[in-house]
Every structure is written in structure tokens, then in C-alpha cells.
Amino acid sequence: MQGCEVSTRLRYRLTLASGMLECLCFAGVVFGFASLMFVLKEDGYFSYLCATVPGTNGTLTITDCSGQDEQFSLVFTITSFLNNFLCLVNGYLFDRFGTLVTRLVAICLYTTGTLLVAFSSAVVKVANLFAAHRSTVITLYNGAFDSSAAVFFLIKVLHEQGVSLRSSFLVLSSCSIIHLLRTLLLMPRTHIPYPLPQYYTYGLDCGQANTYNLEQFERMRNGGMTESQETSGKDVSQAPEEGTDAQDSKTVESFRSCVLSWFFLWHMMWLSIMQLRHYLFIGTLNPMLNRLADNDPNLVSQYTNAFAMTQLCGVLCAPWNGLLMDRHKGKPLAPGETEQEVDLRSSSLSLFLTSLQCLLFSVCASVPFLPLQYLTFILQVLNRSFLYGGNAAFISMAFPACHFGKLYGLVMSVSAVISLLQYPCFALVKGALGGDPFFMDIALTLVTLLAFIHPVYVYIYCKKVAHHRKDNTQTEVTNGFIMAEAKL
């Protein structure tokens, strides 16, 4: 038993570490689009949309590439939309078929996408393995997801050293073998349950005697018995259900009631507003830098590199949000207090700080002063690492785990539809606003204020629950005294 337990713990750590590497190197490369856009421009993508127009003095000519910038903005809009919208499909596949099928589909899509670029010229359940640090692991993975934007920065640096875009993407395609091996060796076939059963394992078996495998768990979840318990006559129908906090299945909220709850609706607005702000910033970063740097390619490259380097810090920033949410773990609960109530109270502070970061980031991004953009880059990566980690952690806290995949996919899909507004915003800046995004930035900053509604609502809800619990406790004590006096 001891050898099996050691092997199981080692497998948990290998799953965590390999998942971190996977997120860091592959998961969120789309957010490094500013670096890739620089390379694509040098390789002449959409260069036919550039036009030579007369200068202001009538003798010199300048090259106007606003059409090229608009096309790249459209590419990023479509990419970022699909990146989030397909989470709905991904969530359904995960809840219906489990980890193996979902990852195999993702690997096929990833390999196809990288090959298409080469020849043109996502994980949260792992946190259940570490219950005491569940939110920290979720945010750590999301931070690694953010930092993977630096992959396109690396491609940009290699391109400047003579490595072709095709070679870089062929290497990315070949890395799919790593994802396949991890899927088969270090991930379960279906789901990782929560709470985690003792000696739960997956992948390569370490022996049947003391191994709590998924097949046994599924039989217990459905009210059946394991083989050893069938022979001893012991019923295990009271074992904790997969993805629930040992609650009876009849008490689990329906998916419809979760979607129609104020928690979900405010959370969806909270994510959608801030994500739109980030996507518009990333998609217009290159033209914005060109405008502020007077089209100096060296200066634009310098600031693009600085932006890409700050993306690496996402994996360092995100765990702070998880530690903020997990700060109550291990502490005794007050009488009548539930784990979910404590989780929600902790999340309200995280949600507020994330909204405040986005407001500060949007204000800095609105100021047309080039050196200030260094601070903008820092606030952007800090806010984005808090945003996506907090999003996944809040859904896992506020709603039943059996609906996590569908709810996460739905909120990401709806926010993806909202993110489509970035393209008309870009077109408005290029057209009616004459290329100056100042008034658009001010409008988005004002819209960002709406994100504060969500943390305020969660805080008020927690205060009401605590007050109700206190009143119930006082009532029970009073009733106890009355009954005691009656007996006397």
C-alpha cells in the first residue's frame, strides 16, 4: 500500500508539472499575436493592402498600411472569438466523454492549425488532485496559459536570426506528440473527482489491491459496489459523488438554474467587459505603437519585445490570486458556516481587485504617451492573469462541479460573442475617429466601471448569508432555553 501511495503522489506531481509546461508553451499563444503580427508583416502577409499616398508637402510619399492593419485586426478578432466560443463545445465534450476524448480532439485541431500556418508561407480539473490549494493550482495554470504568449515572441526573435516561419510552426506541430503522451500516461480517461477518493489513481496501474481506479469510482457514484465490497457485502452508495462536495445528487442545482442565477449573469458580464478591453488592446497594439513611435520600426520592435517579455510574468502573477482565494483553507468553520460561503467571501476580494486592475490598465492605455506603455504592459499582464484564473476559480466555487465544463464553456462562448465588438470598434477608430483611439479608449474605460457590480453583489450576498446564519443560531439558542425551562 505504501509503495502504491508513493507512486500515486509522484503521478500527481508529474501531472501538475507536465500540465504547467503544456500551458506555458502551447495553450495561450494567441495572446502573443502582437509579436506574430510583426513577423507576418515582414514576410509580406496582406502587404497588397498597403498603398503609397502623397505626403503633406506634396513632394514626398508615404506608405499607408491601414488596410493591412485592419485585416490583421480581423484575423485576431476571429481567432480570439473561436478561442473562447469553442469552449462551449469543449465543455460539453468534457462533461459528456471525459478527458481522453476532449484532449484527442484538441490535439488534432492544434496540429492542423500549426501545419496550416507553417504551409501558408486549456485544465482545470488537475486542481482536484490538490484540494488544499485548489484555487492556487487553477490560477497557476491560467497564469501559464497567459505566459505562453511569449512563444510568438520567441518565433519573432528566431525570425530575426534567420529562422523561417515555416520551420517554427513545424516544430510546434511536432510537439503534439508530447500532448499525446501526456494524455495517455498522465491524465485520466474521464474525470478527476472532487473530493478526491483515497488512493485515487489513473494512467498506468500501480497494482489492483489498493488502487482506487475510475471504474470503481463510477460504480460507486451510480450506487453500486466495488468487487472487494461485493464479496464483503458492504454498500458504498454513500461515497462522495464525482465533482460534488459529498452532497446528495437530488440537492444539486440544475444547469438551467445555474445559468439563470444572478451569480452567473453578473460573472458573465464581468468577464465579457474586461476581456473585450484586453482583446481590443492586443489586436490594436501594433498600429498603436506605430502611431506613437512615428512609424519607427526599431522603436516599434523594442516596445513589442517589451510587451512580449511582460507576458512571461503571467505565470508569476496568477498564483497570488489563487493564494488570495485559498487563504481560508485549513481554518475551522464558524457554526453553521459552509465551505462554499467561505469560498465566496474570499472570491469577492479577488473579483474587486481584478476589476480595479482593469480600470487602471484601461486608464494607462488611454494616455497617448509612449513611455507610459511600459506600465500599461505590466498592468495588462497582471490583470489578465487575475482575470482568467479568477474566472475558472469562481465558477468552481459558486456552482456544482458536475456543471463546471458546461458553465465554463458557456461563459467563455458568450464573452467571445461580446469580443466580436472589437472589430467594429477598430473600424470606427480607423474611420470616423481618423485613426485616433482616444475617445474609444475613454468610452471603454467608462464601460469597465460596470465590472465592479459583480464583486459588490457577491459581497452583499455573503453579508446577507452571514446575517441570516447568525439570526438562525440565535433563534436555535433561544428555543433551546425555552425547551429547557419547559422541562423544569
Non-local (6+) Cβ contacts of 451 within 8 A are 269, 270, 273, 274, 354, 355, 358, 359
CATH of residue 337: 1.20.1250.20
Of the pLDDT bands very low, low, confident and very high (cuts 50, 70, 90), residue 360 is very high
DSSP H helical segments within 313-421, as ranges?
A: 314-325, 339-366, 373-398, 404-419
Residue type, 412: M
Residue 141 has pLDDT above 50, yes or no: yes
Residue 366 has pLDDT above 80, yes or no: yes
The domain of 31 spans: 1-192+257-478
State how far the alpha carbon of 295 is from the alpha carbons of 49, 160, 286, 290, in Å.
Answer: 17, 19, 10, 4
How much is the pLDDT for 84? 73
- Write the pLDDT tens digit of every residue in 428-447: 888 888 878 889 999 999 99
Q: Which residues pair with 63 in a beta bridge?
A: 52
How much is the pLDDT for 217? 43
Per the domain annotation, does 67 fall within a domain?
A: yes
Average pLDDT, the chain: 76
Per the domain annotation, does 90 fall within a domain?
A: yes
Residue 220 has pLDDT above 70, yes or no: no
Per the domain annotation, does 308 fall within a domain?
A: yes
The sign of the torsion formed by the CA atoms of 131, 136, 138, 144 equals: negative
Q: How many domains does the chain have?
A: 1
Per the domain annotation, does 288 fall within a domain?
A: yes
Kindly report which listed range (143-147, 175-179, 404-408, 447-451) carries the lowest average pLDDT score: 143-147
Non-local (6+) Cβ contacts of 411 within 8 A are 264, 267, 268, 271, 391, 395
Q: Is 105 helix (H, G, I), strand (E, B) or coil?
A: helix
Per the domain annotation, does 244 fall within a domain?
A: no
How much is the pLDDT for 460? 94
How much is the pLDDT for 364? 95
Per the domain annotation, does 287 fall within a domain?
A: yes
State how far the alpha carbon of 102 is from the alpha carbons of 63, 110, 182, in Å.
Answer: 46, 12, 13
Residue 262 has pLDDT above 80, yes or no: yes
> Among 148-162, 326-340, 357-371, 433-447, which range has the highest average pLDDT?
357-371
Per the domain annotation, does 219 fall within a domain?
A: no
- Write the pLDDT tens digit of every residue in 398-424: 888 778 878 888 898 898 889 889 888
Per the domain annotation, does 238 fall within a domain?
A: no
Q: How far, in Å, CA of 75 to CA of 279, rounded?
A: 12
